[in-house]
């Protein structure tokens, strides 16, 4: 299991820091793991799963999108 720091998550998703935190609350983006005082990271597999789900959602037929 690999942990990603914010800069790695930003590079992987092409999202801004503020957008990542917003998406945790609104888009089902994976929550960060607290590593210590002021230090957090994300589980790489969870971030990759989120990206794959977004791709699958994009590729789903239009009728399925409305029910997701």
Residue 62 has a pLDDT of 74
Confidence of residue 33 (pLDDT cuts 50, 70, 90): very high
Percent of the chain at pLDDT exceeding 70: 91
In CATH, the number for domain 3-67 is 1.10.238
pTM of the model: 0.85
pLDDT in tens, 41-52: 999 999 999 999
- Using only the alpha carbons of the chain, give its radius of gyration: 13
Q: Are strands 3-4 and 39-43 parallel, antiparallel or unpaired?
A: antiparallel
């Amino acid at each position: 299991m690999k942990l990603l720091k914010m800069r790695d998550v930003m590079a992987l998703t092409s999202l801004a820091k503020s957008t990542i935190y917003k998406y945790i609350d609104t888009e089902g983006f994976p929550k960060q793991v607290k590593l210590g005082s002021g230090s957090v990271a994300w589980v790489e597999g969870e971030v990759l799963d989120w990206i794959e789900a977004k791709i699958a959602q994009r590729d789903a037929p239009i009728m399925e999108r409305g029910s997701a």
